[in-house]
Amino acid sequence: SLAGRAEQQRQTGDYAGAAATLERALRIQPQEAYLWNRLARVRLEQGLGSQAGNLAARSNALAGDQAKLKKNNWDLIATVRRQSGDLQGALEAERLADGG
């Protein structure tokens, strides 16, 4: 699968390749929340925090009742906010990650 290939690329440090593979997968399945989450993770690892946070939020909007995926997205958003100095926003995201 494209998601599997992207994960292999990410694990070997080929973040640009992983992002390109995920973007291709998203052209095929634009409503797939998991793919948006994976792309957010890659962007965070590339140091593109703002983009990562936006992608994680998009994943959340599509995630429906996928609680584990939403938690992962909120954890990622908390990391992005903390890195940008938004400690209050990070705490709020952590609270949401914990189901609150």
**0.85 exceeded by the pTM?**
yes
Q: How does residue 99 score in pLDDT terms, banded at 50, 70 and 90?
A: confident
| Average pLDDT, integer, range 72-97 | 97
DSSP string computed for 15-75 = HHHHHHHHHHHHHH-TT-HHHHHHHHHHHHHTT-HHHHHHHHHHHHHH-TT-HHHHHHHHH
- Quick one: 2-97 is in which CATH superfamily? Tetratricopeptide repeat domain (1.25.40.10)
Taking CA 95 as the corner, what is the angle to CA 94 and CA 98, rounded to the nearest 5 degrees?
A: 90
The answer to whether residues 40 and 56 touch, using CB atoms and an 8 Å cutoff, is yes
Reported as a single tens digit per residue, the pLDDT across 31-83 is 999 999 999 999 999 999 999 999 999 999 999 999 999 999 999 999 999 99
Asked if pLDDT for residue 29 goes beyond 80, the answer is yes
